[in-house]
Structure 1
Amino acid sequence: MNVSVVLFTADLRLHDHPPLRAALDGTRQVVPLFVRDRAVDDAGFAVPNRLAFLADCLRDLDAGLRARGGRLVVRSGDLVEQVCRVAAEADADEVHLAADGSAHARRREERLRRALESEGVRLHVHDAVTTAVGPGAVTPGSSDHFAVFTPYFRHWSQWRQREPLGPPRTVRVPDVVGSEALPTRNGLSGLSPGLARGGEVRGRERVARWLRSDIAAYGDGQDDLAGDATSRLSPHLHFGTLSPVELVHRARRVGGPGAEAFVRQLAWRDFHRQVLAARPAAASADYRTRHDRWRSERTAGADIEAWRAGRTGYPVVDAAMRQLRHEGWMHNRGRLLTASFLAKTLYVDWRVGARHFLDLLVDGDVANNQLNWQWMAGTGTDSRPNRVLNPVTQAKRHDPDGAYVRRWLPELEGVAAPAVHEPWKLPGGDRAALGYPDPIVGLSDGLARFRRARERF
C-alpha cells in the first residue's frame, strides 16, 4: 500500500499545508478529501453565507489540484464513515488531517482514530495548520490555559514557529476513488447581497495587495469605521484558504507598527482557541458567570428585533447591523459596539446576539464569535467585565465625519456630522422627515438597568 488520504477541513489551500506535504512524502498517491459533515448541518452551522463561500473555496481547491495533476474528492454524510470508506476504496494505509481544538472536532478525531485503527490505517494529526500556535503549545505554570491575553501574547510571541511550506508541484490521485459533484452557489437562497467570493487564489491576491500597500496604516486605522482599514482576511482564515503561520511570517517581514498590530490580532485568534480548547463549555455557557438574569427573547422581543434589523435609533449600531446583513461581514469596531449595545444597554443574553452573528457571518466560528461576545458581555476573559461602550461617544471617535453611518443608513445621507450620530436632537419636523426611528432606549436608562442587574449601584 502506498496511498494516503488527506482530509481537508478548515484548511482549504495548497500553500503551507503540512498534512498534504506529509502525505505526499516519497512516491505516494494521495486522495485529497473533503467531507460535507452531516453533524455540522444538524448543529445549524451550515448557513447560506458560509455555504456559498465554502463552495467557492472547494472549487478553487479542486482547480489548484487539477493544475497539479490531481483533483478534489467530495463526499457527504457522517465524516468518520466517509473517511473510512474512501480509505478502503483507495487501499490507503494512512490519513492526515489538521488538528482542531474544538470539543466537536476532538470527539470526531477520536472516533476516526478508533475506526481507522480497526482497519489497520494510521491517523496523523498535524498542529499549527489552522492556527499560528496550537491551542496547547503555550501554557502557564499553574493552569492548562491562559485566561488573560497579555501574558498569553508574551509567550505566544516567543514561540518558535515553523517555516511556511510551498505548494506541491504534483499530486497524483488514484483513479478508483469517485467524487460527488462540487458544490456551487447556484440555488442557495438567503445570501447577503454583498458577500465576498472565496478561494485560495482570491485570498492570496488580497493579502498580497494588503501587505504591499495597506498594512502600514493598520495600527492607526484599524478602528476607523469609514476608512475600512482592516485586512478583511477573516473569512479566508476561517476557511483556511490562508495560513496563519504564513501570515505571521509575511507580516513580520514587512515590519512596523501596522504589522505588529496585525500579528497581535492573529494572536487574539489563537488565544480564543486555546481558551475554548481548555473550556469547551464556554461555547454556550458563561466562562465566568456574573449571575445575570438576562432579559429573555420573550420579554425583550421588540428590542431584539430592532437590533437585528438595524432600527435601534442609534445610527452607528444600526449601520453596523445593516453592514452585517448586506455583506455577511462586519467591521471589528462595529462588532464590539453592537455586542455592547445588545448585552449591556439592552441587557439581552449574549447568546441571542452570538446566534444571530453565526447565522450571517461568513467568518463565523465558535471560538472567535462566542468568546468575543462573552468578552463584551463581561462573562468572558475581559478584566473589566462591567465596561459599557457608549455608541454616541464611540461613533464620534471612530466615525467623526459620519461617512460610515451615511454609507449604510440612506435615511441619514443628508445629515452632516456630528448631528448624524444624534438625529433625535434635530428639530421635530426635520427628524420626522428622515423616516428614521427614535432610540428604543435611553442610554442612561440602559446603563442604570445594567448596573442594577450587576448590583453596581
Structure 2
Amino acid sequence: MNVSVVLFTSDLRLHDHPPLRAALDAAREVVPLFVRDRAVDGAGFAVPNRLAFLADCLRDLDAGLRERGGRLVVRSGDVVEEVCRVACETAAGEVHLSADVSGYAQRREERLRRTLAAQGVRLHVHEAVTTAVAPGTVTPAASDHFAVFTPYFRHWSRQRLRDALGAPRTVRVPDGVGSAGLPSHRGVSVGLASGGETEGRRRLSAWLRGGIADYADRHDDLAGDATSRLSPHLHFGTLSPVELVHRARATGGPGAEAFVRQLAWRDFHRQVLAARPDAAYADYRTRHDRWRTEDTAREEVEAWREGRTGYPVVDAAMRQLRHEGWMHNRGRLLTASFLAKTLYIDWRVGARHFLQLLVDGDVANNQLNWQWVAGTGTDTRPNRVLNPVAQAKRYDPDGAYVRRWVPELAGIEGPVVHEPWKLRGRDRAAVGYPEPVVDLSVGLGRFRRARGLG
C-alpha cells in the first residue's frame, strides 16, 4: 500500500502516537490530516480560548512534521466528508484515528467507517491514545462501566499499560494534497497559556523535576499553585496519558502516586461517558431536583460569573478563570458547590459557563465533575455542601490567593479577608466589595429542603 491517512483529533502530538506509527508502518506515504469540524462550531464548543490554544497546537504539530520531511494537511467542513475526500484524492487504503468517548465522536466514527467501507478504504481505530486505559477495558461483573471511582482505580492500577512510542524520524507526505492555511486565533483570557507539544513537553519535564514531589501535600494549596497545569495539554493531546503515567511512576513517591490517581480520575470519567453519553447533558443519577434556572436566578448567576458573590474565595476563583482560562482544581470544586448547592442553580448553567472559558474544557471531565459536585453524578456523598469560608481558611489560610485575584481586598490583613462583611464602619465602606448574595445558612436550608433532608 502506498498511502495511509492519519486523522488527528484530540491527539495533537508526534510522541507516543499509535495511529501515526501504524500508518507509517503500513504505507510509504502518510497524510497527517486535521479537519476543523463545523459541527463543533455549530454546537458552541469552538470558543476563543480553546481555538487560540488549538492554533498553537496545530502550528507546533506542523513544525514538528516539517522537521521530519512532512507537513500537516488542514481541511474544514464535515469530518467524514473531508476524510473521505482526502482518501479518494490520494488513493489511500487505510485511515487511522484515535478512539474517543463522547456520543458525537462515537456516531462520527460509525459514519466514517460506513462511508470509507463504501470506498474500499479500511478504518483503524486505536485505543489508549487519549486515555491511559481504554474505556471498557475494566468493567464490573454486572455492568458495562464502573459507577464508583475507588473500585475502578483498584482495577485500573492493575492494568499493564502499553509502552510509550517515540516520535517518528521521517514522515513522507504525498505531493499535491491541498491544505488550508494554519489557523490563527486570539483568546479572550489575557493570561491564557501557550499550546503545542513542544510547550507541553517542556512543562512536563519541569513538573517532573520540581513539582511532582510535593504534589500529594500541596495540590489543594490555592495560593501555592502547585498543580501540574498539564490539563490543557491532556485535553488537546499534546501529551500522552500513557507516557505521563509511565514517567510519573518512574519518578516515584507519594506525589507521583497522587498525580497518577488524578490521571485515573480522567480515565474514570471517560469510561462513564463512553457507556452513558447522555451524561453530558442529563443527570447520571437523578435526585429529582427542581433547580432554579438562569431565568429565575439571573442576578445571582451573573454575580457568580463575574466574581462578585461576596464570598472572596469563590470570587477569586471565578476571576482567575476569566483571566487565565483555567482555574485551580480546588477552586473548581468550591465554585461549583456554591452555584449548585448554596444557590441551588442547575449544574448545567455552571457547566456551560466553564466550557465557554476553560482552555481544558472537556466534555467528560467538565460535565461529570459538575455532576459529581451537584450530587447527580458518581459521588457517593450527593448531599455534601462545601462551606466557602471554611474551605478558604483551610486551603488559603494566609489569604494570598484571595488578595491576588480580588484586589479590592488586597489591603485587608489577617483571616478577616475571607469574611469582609465582619469589617465595621468606614473600613467596610472603603473596601468597595459586594455584600454576600445569600447567607450560607439560608442557602444550606434551601438545598436541604429541596433534597428532602429537612
TM-score (norm 2): 0.99
> 1:365 is matched with which residue: 362, 366, 380?
362
Looking at structure 2, the residues matched to 339 and 46 of structure 1 have their Cα atoms a distance apart, in angstroms, of 23
- 1:274 is matched with 271
The 5 Å alignment of 1:322-333 reads 322-333=319-330
Looking at structure 1, the residues matched to 92 and 26 of structure 2 have their Cα atoms a distance apart, in angstroms, of 15
Give the unaligned 5+ runs of structure 2.
Answer: none
- 1:143 is matched with 143
> 1:209 is matched with which residue: 183, 191, 206?
206
> Does the CA-based 8 Å contact 1:226-1:399 persist in structure 2?
yes
- 1:349 is matched with 346
Q: Percent identity?
A: 81
Looking at structure 1, the residues matched to 278 and 181 of structure 2 have their Cα atoms a distance apart, in angstroms, of 36
> Does the CA-based 8 Å contact 1:402-1:417 persist in structure 2?
yes
SS at match of 1:337: helix
CA deviation profile, 1:318-364 (whole Å, cap 9, x unmatched): 00000000000000000000000000000000000000000000000
- 2:388 is matched with 391
> 2:228 is matched with which residue: 226, 231, 247?
231
CA deviation profile, 1:114-137 (whole Å, cap 9, x unmatched): 110100100000000000001111
> Does the CA-based 8 Å contact 2:4-2:27 persist in structure 1?
no
Looking at structure 1, the residues matched to 414 and 404 of structure 2 have their Cα atoms a distance apart, in angstroms, of 13
Looking at structure 2, the residues matched to 441 and 198 of structure 1 have their Cα atoms a distance apart, in angstroms, of 39
The list of structure 1 runs, each at least 4 consecutive aligned residues, that deviate by more than 6 angstroms after superposition, is none
Amino acid at match of 1:99: A
CA deviation profile, 1:282-328 (whole Å, cap 9, x unmatched): 10000000000011111100000000000000000000000000000
TM-score (norm 1): 0.99
2:105 pairs with 1:105: yes
Looking at structure 1, the residues matched to 119 and 298 of structure 2 have their Cα atoms a distance apart, in angstroms, of 53
2:53 pairs with 1:61: no
SS at match of 1:265: helix
- 2:451 is matched with 454
Looking at structure 1, the residues matched to 24 and 34 of structure 2 have their Cα atoms a distance apart, in angstroms, of 17
Amino acid at match of 2:106: R
- 2:20 is matched with 20
- Kindly tell me the number of residue pairs found equivalent between the two proteins: 454
The 5 Å alignment of 1:311-322 reads 311-322=308-319
2:26 pairs with 1:29: no
Q: CA deviation at 1:416?
A: 1.5
> Does the CA-based 8 Å contact 2:4-2:26 persist in structure 1?
no
CA deviation profile, 1:133-184 (whole Å, cap 9, x unmatched): 0111110011000000000000000011000000000000001211000001
- 2:336 is matched with 339
Q: CA deviation at 1:26?
A: 5.5
2:4 pairs with 1:4: yes
- 1:168 is matched with 168
CA deviation profile, 1:253-273 (whole Å, cap 9, x unmatched): 000000000000000000000
- 1:115 is matched with 115
Looking at structure 2, the residues matched to 434 and 62 of structure 1 have their Cα atoms a distance apart, in angstroms, of 50
The 5 Å alignment of 1:255-294 reads 255-294=252-291
> Does the CA-based 8 Å contact 1:406-1:412 persist in structure 2?
yes
Looking at structure 2, the residues matched to 9 and 27 of structure 1 have their Cα atoms a distance apart, in angstroms, of 21
> Does the CA-based 8 Å contact 1:225-1:331 persist in structure 2?
yes
- 2:196 is matched with 199
CA deviation profile, 1:195-246 (whole Å, cap 9, x unmatched): 0000000000000000011100000000000000000000000000000000
SS at match of 2:229: coil
Q: CA deviation at 1:417?
A: 2.5
Root mean square deviation, CA, Å: 0.7
Looking at structure 1, the residues matched to 120 and 293 of structure 2 have their Cα atoms a distance apart, in angstroms, of 52
2:45 pairs with 1:48: no
> Does the CA-based 8 Å contact 1:374-1:380 persist in structure 2?
yes
> Does the CA-based 8 Å contact 1:89-1:176 persist in structure 2?
no
Looking at structure 2, the residues matched to 215 and 173 of structure 1 have their Cα atoms a distance apart, in angstroms, of 39
Q: CA deviation at 1:27?
A: 5.2
Looking at structure 2, the residues matched to 409 and 221 of structure 1 have their Cα atoms a distance apart, in angstroms, of 22
Q: CA deviation at 1:428?
A: 2.4
- 2:155 is matched with 155
Looking at structure 1, the residues matched to 108 and 275 of structure 2 have their Cα atoms a distance apart, in angstroms, of 17
Looking at structure 2, the residues matched to 297 and 258 of structure 1 have their Cα atoms a distance apart, in angstroms, of 40
Q: CA deviation at 1:36?
A: 0.3
- 2:438 is matched with 441
Looking at structure 2, the residues matched to 14 and 292 of structure 1 have their Cα atoms a distance apart, in angstroms, of 46
> Does the CA-based 8 Å contact 1:320-1:338 persist in structure 2?
yes
Amino acid at match of 2:255: G
Q: CA deviation at 1:70?
A: 0.1
Looking at structure 2, the residues matched to 180 and 281 of structure 1 have their Cα atoms a distance apart, in angstroms, of 34
SS at match of 1:24: helix
> Does the CA-based 8 Å contact 2:215-2:256 persist in structure 1?
yes
Looking at structure 2, the residues matched to 380 and 417 of structure 1 have their Cα atoms a distance apart, in angstroms, of 37
Amino acid at match of 1:50: R
- 1:298 is matched with 295
SS at match of 2:36: strand
